[in-house]
């Protein structure tokens, strides 16, 4: 009987040591980064300039569900890129509020990149790094409000500095 007790105690000890603690992904752990875009005045390229009543809508989405409006006065934004495709298209719409006297102007930007999945941890899973980022302005019949696009950093692996500069 005493042997059975020690064997059972040994099994319980080994069983407990095999258990893992609950992993929780810490907020400070790097995850898939957002694309940082900074807006500048085309006439004075060193001066940041916020677009007037900017709204941004992802291609194939319903604006009420996945679009968002950037408040006036914001000269930089952070938007997600698709993690399961190598292309993301957004419509950048200025003067999007109905009360504006200015006409609505829409420009489509196509972002292409190479996705690289990076293992973070068991709790956090994988994150996507975007390499070789390119941005193309799709020509519009009514003229583009975006005049120039510069890729500042072709690798999107953090959210520290702007990856793209847009001049308008």
Residue range(s) defining the domain that contains residue 161:
29-167
- pTM value is 0.80
- Indicate whether 156 belongs to any domain: yes
Report the number of distinct structural domains present in the chain: 1
- Indicate whether 16 belongs to any domain: no
For residue 166, give Cα distances in angstroms to 6, 115, 133.
Answer: 72, 23, 14
- Indicate whether 19 belongs to any domain: no
As a whole number of angstroms, the distance between CA 102 and CA 13 comes to 73
- Indicate whether 76 belongs to any domain: yes
- Indicate whether 15 belongs to any domain: no
- Indicate whether 22 belongs to any domain: no
Non-local CB neighbours of 154 within 8 Å, separated by 6+ positions = 131, 132, 133, 134, 163
Over residues 43-79, the pLDDT tens digits come to 999 999 999 888 888 887 655 555 666 656 789 999 9
- Indicate whether 59 belongs to any domain: yes
Over residues 126-154, the pLDDT tens digits come to 999 999 999 999 988 878 899 999 999 99
Non-local CB neighbours of 137 within 8 Å, separated by 6+ positions = 107, 108, 109, 144, 146, 149
- Indicate whether 1 belongs to any domain: no
């Amino acid at each position: 009987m005493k042997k059975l007790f020690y064997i059972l105690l040994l099994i319980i000890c080994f069983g407990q040591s095999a258990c893992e603690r609950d992993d929780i992904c810490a907020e400070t752990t790097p995850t898939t980064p957002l694309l940082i875009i900074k807006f500048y005045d085309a006439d004075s390229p060193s001066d940041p300039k916020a677009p007037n009543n900017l709204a941004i809508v992802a291609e194939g989405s319903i604006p009420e569900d996945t679009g968002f409006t950037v408040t006036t006065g914001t000269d930089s934004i952070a938007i997600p890129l698709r993690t399961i495709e190598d292309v993301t298209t957004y419509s950048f719409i200025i003067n999007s509020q109905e009360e504006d006297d200015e006409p609505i102007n829409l420009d489509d930007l196509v972002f292409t990149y190479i996705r690289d999945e990076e293992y973070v941890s068991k709790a956090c899973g994988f994150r996507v790094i975007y390499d070789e980022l390119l941005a193309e302005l799709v020509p519009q019949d009514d003229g583009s409000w975006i005049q120039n696009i510069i890729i500042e950093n072709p690798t999107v692996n953090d959210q520290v500095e702007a990856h793209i500069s847009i001049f308008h």
